[in-house]
Structure 1
Amino acid sequence: MTLGYDNPPVVARLAAELGCPGVPVEVADLCTLKDRRIAALDRAGLAVPRFAVATTVDAALAGLERVGLPAVVKPSDCTGSLGVAKLDARERAREPVERALALSPTGRVVVEEYLSGTEHTVAGFAVDGLLHVTGFADREYGEKERFFPHFFEGGDTLPTVLDAAQRADVVRTVQGGVDALGLTTAVVNTDILRTPDGRVYLLEITCRLTGARIATEVMPLATGVDPLPNAVRLALGRPLVAEELRPTRDRAVVQRYLPADGGTVHSVGDLDALARTPGVHDVFWGLDLAPGTVLPAYRGGDEVLAGTITSGPDVAAAEALAARVLSRLPLRLTGPSGAPTTPYEPTH
């Protein structure tokens, strides 16, 4: 089984070699390589952004003419938003396309239409081709373009703002993706975008557990559904226990991040006191920090300075608690002037 990291092709090949249960190799490849996946979803008639696949900068720029602006460029085979950038003008597109191509092990990029709307994560299992949802979260993109041309995802929120009919529409789209990719028996993780007019786009669907502690901690805190026991059963070729897929609670839970964006660590303290705050499940550093550590400029989702997982009587209360925690981090930085600065302001 695979958790978070996009290594289903490796896991599938090991399973096939060793005669273990597992997702077929061709399906694992289809779910992981962005160029193959979006083409398969498009052939199945699912709503996907307009797209072009390229192996050279010039081909990507030609594809951009067909896709239109604004657009997004993505390495076909990288994870964690690595190399993903927004393209807002053709004359500024060459550099981010070159970087995306350089980061791709296979030298392939996807140029996609940029869409606006709310984004959501649906997690679950496909068993005999039928999707069983274990979690439905909203992705926090309030400051999505703060580090243009890179995207910043501020975390995840449960419960979703979508109503029952809207959720059902999203789940139907995910089921269509399960069918299109041949996910007969597999863990399922998705990235969904819903436009203001209600159209649902399947941006990503993979055969792995949702990473960043979402499927394994954030969703279970909110719903009581822990997918790990059933993920292990699936990996062993055993039947799922249906009772463990049913929510036992409906709690407001959020995960929020602060990005690393340059500077040098002046001083860093212990997080234990903040972690003991009522309603705080965890507070954590995203990087190894010590006096003198030079922080990178933000260029993608992996460059997280710190984060917290909090709960409350409603989403607003959980968000407010997360903001307070992140504003009180025991951290001081020095900038270009050399003077110590207060901790980062929370992105909220």
Structure 2
Amino acid sequence: MTERLLVCGIGSGMDHSLAELRSGGRELVVVTDTPTGRAQAAADVLLVCDPTDGTAVLAELSAAGVDRLDGVFSLGADNPPVISVLADRFGCPGLPLETALNCTLKDRRLAILREAGLDLPRFATAESVEEALRAVAEVGLPAVIKPSDQTGSLGVIKVDSPGAVRERAAEALRLSPVGRIVVEEFLEGTEHTLAAFMVDGELHRFGFADREYGRKEEFAPYFFEGGDTLPSRLTEERIEEITDTVRRGARALRLDPAVINTDILRTRDGRVVLLEITCRLTGARIATEVMRLATGVNPLPNLVRLALGRPLDLSELRPTRDGAAVQRFLPADGGVVEWVGNPRDAARRVGVHDVFWGIELTPGTVVPPYRGGSDVLAGVIAYADEPAEAEAIAERALRALPLRFKSSAR
């Protein structure tokens, strides 16, 4: 019988990897709310709906006559609870819903990690502005306010003064479907992304990147992440220290077997703080393209094996390349588009893997002020022998973007 895989949810740019999931002996069902040309070309069955709405996904599958699945996962989309619901409904391998919720809802995740003794920021939860005022008083300033149930830095806001708490808390609460926010102590240091598989209590790391935050507070109170860099500037000893923290966090949350994405902060005084850990593939093309350009490791075959309940091939997680790769973003921060060309025109140079728009741009497009991590104007993926060289290639490609704004500020 032909194996049938469901890809439920496609993270930003991750449709580039859909074609690799096709196989002569496999049927690919894709659920997405952004049916790109790549998704249409790769899918045997393409269903258009919100991949974070389990009820809607089940209804679409039923309407399409899909009554059997052999494996289900997202491609960098942050919807583990829906993946768990679908796996249970169709009898596929997968984590329990409670486990998926524990790593997706920030307040639950923090409580479990604290109970396990991991180093965390001081934090408190709130379900109203008044509770947020008390939470900030408990945690202290500066603080970071986050919707408990949102992803992609949506609604993540820094608060520096008591007078700003009401407005910032109200904004974060509006963005939370369940009406709950987390208030965390603001910590400074370097941030990193670790990608891994966790199976039988063992963590198999296949990627480690430094997150670029040189312009982190340029758009305060919102944070801007400029991309990722491989290899890391950290020593191997410090990387292993971080890996051990992720392993402890994965075990505490019972993420096994699972593919794991993390966000880790190493403070200036050497603390290793697990900011995020969840059971999904690292998105935004990081695990599938950026890390792969630097290391040669392709996680997709093992992602499929995991979804089908088969053993991993650990040999495929060993690096075959020792290079450098970066992804760099430009923030979308206001202006009216006067003229726009094909970003591929900036990609025709050595070391440029891809250049892309983060939003749809046409003459007359009004770009709003920057409000969070998903507001990306454009991005580039570049590679070279050394990180500094790859960074320089990326910067040149972004400067050459075929785009002109009417705004004089541009």
Q: Per the shorter chain, which TM-score range?
A: over 0.9
Partner of 2:4: none
* 2:144 partner amino acid: V
Residue 49 in structure 1 maps to residue 121 in structure 2: yes
Partner of 1:333: 405
Tell me if structure 1 keeps the 8 A contact 2:346–2:402.
no
* Residues 234-262 of structure 1, C-alpha deviations (whole Å, 9 max, x = no match): 00001101110101111110000000000
* Residues 160-214 of structure 1, C-alpha deviations (whole Å, 9 max, x = no match): 0010110110000000101110112001000000012211000000000011100
| Alignment equivalent of 2:308, drawn from 212, 217, 236 | 236
- Which residues in structure 2 correspond to 1:159-238 (within 5 Å)? 159-238=231-310
**What 5-or-longer segments of structure 2 have no aligned partner?**
1-72
State how far apart, in whole Å, the 1-side matches of 2:353 and 2:200 are: 35
Deviation of the 1:16 alpha carbon: 0.8
Tell me if structure 2 keeps the 8 A contact 1:35–1:53.
yes
Partner of 2:171: 99
Partner of 1:88: 160
Q: Secondary structure at the match of 2:81?
A: helix
Tell me if structure 2 keeps the 8 A contact 1:5–1:79.
no
Deviation of the 1:129 alpha carbon: 1.9
State how far apart, in whole Å, the 2-side matches of 1:209 and 1:259 are: 24
| Alignment equivalent of 1:114, drawn from 183, 186, 194 | 186
Deviation of the 1:98 alpha carbon: 0.4
Tell me if structure 2 keeps the 8 A contact 1:257–1:304.
yes
State how far apart, in whole Å, the 2-side matches of 1:272 and 1:315 are: 22
Partner of 2:207: 135
What's the TM-score once normalised by structure 2's chain length? 0.81
* 2:118 partner amino acid: L
Deviation of the 1:52 alpha carbon: 0.3
* 1:76 partner amino acid: S
Residue 147 in structure 1 maps to residue 216 in structure 2: no
Deviation of the 1:58 alpha carbon: 0.6
Residue 17 in structure 1 maps to residue 118 in structure 2: no
Residue 156 in structure 1 maps to residue 228 in structure 2: yes
* Residues 47-103 of structure 1, C-alpha deviations (whole Å, 9 max, x = no match): 010000111111011010110110000000111111000010111111111010010
Residue 262 in structure 1 maps to residue 334 in structure 2: yes
Tell me if structure 2 keeps the 8 A contact 1:60–1:97.
yes
* 2:313 partner amino acid: V
Tell me if structure 1 keeps the 8 A contact 2:124–2:135.
yes
State how far apart, in whole Å, the 2-side matches of 1:46 and 1:271 are: 44
* Residues 240-289 of structure 1, C-alpha deviations (whole Å, 9 max, x = no match): 01110101111110000000000000000122232121100000000100
* 1:187 partner amino acid: V
* Residues 34-56 of structure 1, C-alpha deviations (whole Å, 9 max, x = no match): 11001110110000100001111
Tell me if structure 2 keeps the 8 A contact 1:186–1:207.
yes
Tell me if structure 1 keeps the 8 A contact 2:262–2:276.
yes
Residue 247 in structure 1 maps to residue 319 in structure 2: yes
State how far apart, in whole Å, the 2-side matches of 1:153 and 1:273 are: 25
Over the matched positions of the two proteins, sequence identity in percent amounts to 63
Q: Considering only aligned residues, what root-mean-square deviation do their CA atoms show, in Å?
A: 0.9
| Alignment equivalent of 1:271, drawn from 343, 353, 358 | 343
* 2:363 partner amino acid: P
Tell me if structure 2 keeps the 8 A contact 1:251–1:313.
yes
**What 5-or-longer segments of structure 1 have no aligned partner?**
343-348
* 1:317 partner amino acid: E
* 1:136 partner amino acid: F
Q: Secondary structure at the match of 2:177?
A: coil
Tell me if structure 2 keeps the 8 A contact 1:47–1:200.
yes
* 1:112 partner amino acid: E
Runs ≥4 in structure 1, deviation > 3 angstroms?
A: none
Deviation of the 1:334 alpha carbon: 1.4
Partner of 1:346: none
Higher relative contact order (CA 8 A, sep 6+): 1
* 1:74 partner amino acid: K
* 2:198 partner amino acid: A
State how far apart, in whole Å, the 2-side matches of 1:37 and 1:183 are: 12
Q: Secondary structure at the match of 2:356?
A: strand
Partner of 2:360: 288
Tell me if structure 1 keeps the 8 A contact 2:157–2:221.
yes
More off after superposition, 96-105 vs 2-11: 2-11
State how far apart, in whole Å, the 2-side matches of 1:78 and 1:136 are: 24
More off after superposition, 317-326 vs 143-152: 317-326
Tell me if structure 1 keeps the 8 A contact 2:209–2:232.
yes
Tell me if structure 1 keeps the 8 A contact 2:145–2:156.
yes
